[in-house]
Structure 1
Amino acid sequence: MTHRKSRPAFGVLVFFAVALSLSAYFIFAAVQGDYGLFRRAEIQVEAGALRAELAGLEADVERMENLTRRLSDEFLDPDLLDQQARDVLGLIRTDEIVVR
Structure 2
Amino acid sequence: MQSRSRLQTILATLALHVGAAALIGYFAYHAYTGDHGLLAKRNFEQDLQQLQQDLDALKTQRAALEHKVSLLVANQLDPDLLDEQGRRQLDFIHPKDIVLLRSK
Q: TM-score, normalised by structure 1?
A: 0.81
Give, in whole Å, the separation in 1 of the partners of 2:62 and 2:8.
Answer: 73
CA-based RMSD? 2.1
Moved over 4 A (4+): none
CA distance in structure 1 between the aligned counterparts of 2:58 and 2:42, rounded to whole angstroms: 25
Are 1:43 and 2:48 an aligned pair? no
Matches within 5 A, 1:9-88: 9=9, 10-88=11-89
1:97 offset after TM fit, Å? 6.0
More helix by share: 2
Give 1:63 shift. 0.7
How many residue pairs are counted as aligned between the two chains? 93
TM-score, normalised to structure 2's length? 0.78
Q: After TM superposition, give the deviation of residue 50 of structure 1 in Å.
A: 0.4
Gaps of 5+ in 2: 1-5, 100-104
Distance (whole Å) between structure 2 residues aligned to residue 23 and residue 75 of structure 1: 71
Q: What pairs up with 1:85-100 in 2 under 5 angstroms?
A: 85-93=86-94, 96=95
Residue matched to 2:3: none
C-alpha separation in 2, matches of 1:37 and 1:87: 53
CA distance in structure 2 between the partners assigned to 1:39 and 1:70 by the alignment: 46
Deviation (angstroms), 1:8: 5.6
Aligned to 1:7: 7
Within 2, Cα distance between the matches of 1:47 and 1:13?
Answer: 46
Tell me how far apart the structure 2 counterparts of residues 12 and 75 of structure 1 sit (CA, whole Å): 87
CA distance in 2, matches of 1:97, 1:65: 30
Equivalents in 2 of 1:17, 1:69: separation in Å?
72
Measure the CA separation in 2 of the matches of 1:67 and 1:83.
12
